């Protein structure tokens, strides 16, 4: 809800604006009759203004909360708690005013309807009793916290190092969602709390068709949960595994949508830092959505930074192993088939990660453009540009990228077009030579045939998933299939080792109450969401084309 809408509600309650209404509320000890009203109102208006400004930008950014040397030593966690408190109180009054306004409208409608009815006193009393009963139901729902028991778990669709992802349906609204469940103590023990909070903050900030939406965020004693928009078409990794190389005309479509999705994240003030095909999902209409924001902006833990630097130091003096494109393509397929846990790296994916991140020498949005270049290379060549049989060799290849990166060749003698190779080398290059804006990418000849302003209006994307229902999970791994589970054996082993690490004191220790402060979230427009999903589900599938 916008500030203008809330001000309108406030005016309906005989206040000129939200600020005027807030100033009338005795929320602090100094709000006594003999207080200095001018000073009090001024202070409160400044607080509301700061909170509103913060609400319109990512919570990882702290401008507007204050300035000066006092903030220079404030940790990101403390800044986040401050902004979370501001947003909490602002949204509390948004929600309160909305409820009061709607209750007032319902009462006026009841009185208007009753005035046109010829009810006896007994009938009028009965109708009033029913009306009050409905209002009590509204009040109870406002007091109800979201719990995992409010969801019907349908099947598992994902597995990570700290938890699982399930397809679930919310019982009261019927919403289909991807429910991500993560163990609190594992996250706390392995310094992953900030990553999960960052992911939650990005998801709540997102209001773009290019980014996966968050429906609910909640917690219980043992776990935290993110109930996200379910995107049923699988991810780009599955698309690549099934097809090897992708034709240039189709690659231009996917890379353009990837660029738009990453741009939407950048506009929120976040850098993704861990872009890879697994992070891009295909929706029911065949278009791209970006997900998995755990490493976005914020800061990677010092231990992981030190681990990255140690790995680079260990390989930077080793001689580069030069391999042919055929060898790299074969190695890439073997590695992706046998080591699925690479896709669930707790640090990030070195295959797609820019050198400046690995070296921790300072970086900006340009690191995501490097990753896009690596993904584009894989689309066209059938293997990642720095692929190798071991992670150590991958680190070495990234460090010596200017020696390793070569224009791919194919067994039939074909080569990439000059336009596609030129774009790749504009993205995978030295930082000061790399493309730095979306407009530079959009104007490149590789995208000459694309209408950037109407990408999501394209009715025949290269691949449109054929879905039997909104609960269709055919484009994800089957976690009841032993063959599919064989690929996850290393992931399961890693998770088992993590869980076994929580023994003795760690297992019984209670986390600080403030650990997940500000985590809870519930999206506001449930009815509109359901209507949108129904409209999408009713779109005729025969309208779409497919490259398969």
Catalytic residue list: 274
The CA–CA distances, whole Å, from 204 to 56, 88, 208, 375 equal 11, 13, 11, 27
Say how far apart CA 133 and CA 127 lie, in whole Å. 10
SS3 214: strand
Say how far apart CA 184 and CA 162 lie, in whole Å. 9
User: Edge-to-edge strands of the sheet including 214-219?
Assistant: 151-159, 163-170, 176-183, 223-229, 214-219, 521-522
Confirm whether residue 141 is marked as ligand binding: no
Q: Where are the beta strands (DSSP E) in 237-363?
A: 280-282, 288-290
DSSP state of 213: P
SS3 280: strand
Other Cβ atoms within 10 Å of 125 Cβ, number: 11
Closest CA to 228 of 151, 286, 339: 151
Q: Which residues contact 251 (CB under 8 A, 6 or more apart)?
A: 376, 379, 380, 420
SS3 211: strand
SS3 3: helix
Say how far apart CA 207 and CA 264 lie, in whole Å. 9
Closest CA to 376 of 254, 271, 291: 254
DSSP state of 219: E
The DSSP secondary structure of 140-192, one letter per residue, reads HHHHPPP-GGGEEEEEEEEE-SSEEEEEEEETTT--EEEEEEEEHHHHHHTT-
Q: Output the known binding site.
A: 180
Q: Output the known binding site for ATP.
A: 180
């Amino acid at each position: 809800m916008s500030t203008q809408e809330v001000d309108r509600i406030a005016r309906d309650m005989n206040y000129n604006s939200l600020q005027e209404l807030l100033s009338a509320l005795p929320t602090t000890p100094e709000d006594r009759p003999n207080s200095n009203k001018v000073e009090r109102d001024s202070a409160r208006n400044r607080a509301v203004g700061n909170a509103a400004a913060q609400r319109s930008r990512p919570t990882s950014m702290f401008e507007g909360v204050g300035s000066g040397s006092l903030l220079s030593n404030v940790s990101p966690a403390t800044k986040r708690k401050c902004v979370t408190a501001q947003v909490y109180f602002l949204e509390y009054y948004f929600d309160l005013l909305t409820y009061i306004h709607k209750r007032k409208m319902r009462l006026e409608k009841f009185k208007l309807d009753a005035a046109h009815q010829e009810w006896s006193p007994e009938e009028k009393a009965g109708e009033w009793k029913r009306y009050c009963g409905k209002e009590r139901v509204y009040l109870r729902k406002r007091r109800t916290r979201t719990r995992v028991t409010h969801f019907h778990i349908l099947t598992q669709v994902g597995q990570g190092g700290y938890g699982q992802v399930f397809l679930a349906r919310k019982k009261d609204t019927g919403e289909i969602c991807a429910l991500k469940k993560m163990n609190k103590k594992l996250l706390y023990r392995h310094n992953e709390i900030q990553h999960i909070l960052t992911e939650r903050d990005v998801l709540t900030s997102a209001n773009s068709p290019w980014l996966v939406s968050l429906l609910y965020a909640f917690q219980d004693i043992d776990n935290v949960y993110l109930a996200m928009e379910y995107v049923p078409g699988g991810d780009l990794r599955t698309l690549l595994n099934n097809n090897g190389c992708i034709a240039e005309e189709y690659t231009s479509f996917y890379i353009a949508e990837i660029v738009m999705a990453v741009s939407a994240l950048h506009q929120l003030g976040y850098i993704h830092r861990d872009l890879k095909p697994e992070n891009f999902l295909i929706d029911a209409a065949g278009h791209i959505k970006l997900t998995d924001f755990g490493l976005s902006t914020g800061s990677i833990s010092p231990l992981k930074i030190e681990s990255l630097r140690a790995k680079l130091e260990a390989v930077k003096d080793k001689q580069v192993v030069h391999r042919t494109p055929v060898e790299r393509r074969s190695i890439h397929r073997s590695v992706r088939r046998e080591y699925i846990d690479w896709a669930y790296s707790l640090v990030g994916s070195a295959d797609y990660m820019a050198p400046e991140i690995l070296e921790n020498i300072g970086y900006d949005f340009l690191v995501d453009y490097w990753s896009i270049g690596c993904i584009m290379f894989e689309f066209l060549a059938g293997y990642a540009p720095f692929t190798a049989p071991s992670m150590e060799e991958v680190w070495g290849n990234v460090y010596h990228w200017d020696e390793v990166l070569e224009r791919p060749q194919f067994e039939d003698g074909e080569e990439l077009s000059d336009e596609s190779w030129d774009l790749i080398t504009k993205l995978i290059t030295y930082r000061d030579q790399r493309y730095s804006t979306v407009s530079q990418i959009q104007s490149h000849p590789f995208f000459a045939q694309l209408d950037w302003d109407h990408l999501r209006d394209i009715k025949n994307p290269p691949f449109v998933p054929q879905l039997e229902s909104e609960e269709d999970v055919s484009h994800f791994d089957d976690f009841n299939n032993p063959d599919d589970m064989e690929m996850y054996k290393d992931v399961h082993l890693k998770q088992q080792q993590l869980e076994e690490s929580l023994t003795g004191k760690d297992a019984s220790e209670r986390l600080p109450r403030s650990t997940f402060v500000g985590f809870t979230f519930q999206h506001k427009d449930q009815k509109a969401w359901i209507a949108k999903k129904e409209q999408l589900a009713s779109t005729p599938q025969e309208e779409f084309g497919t490259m398969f």
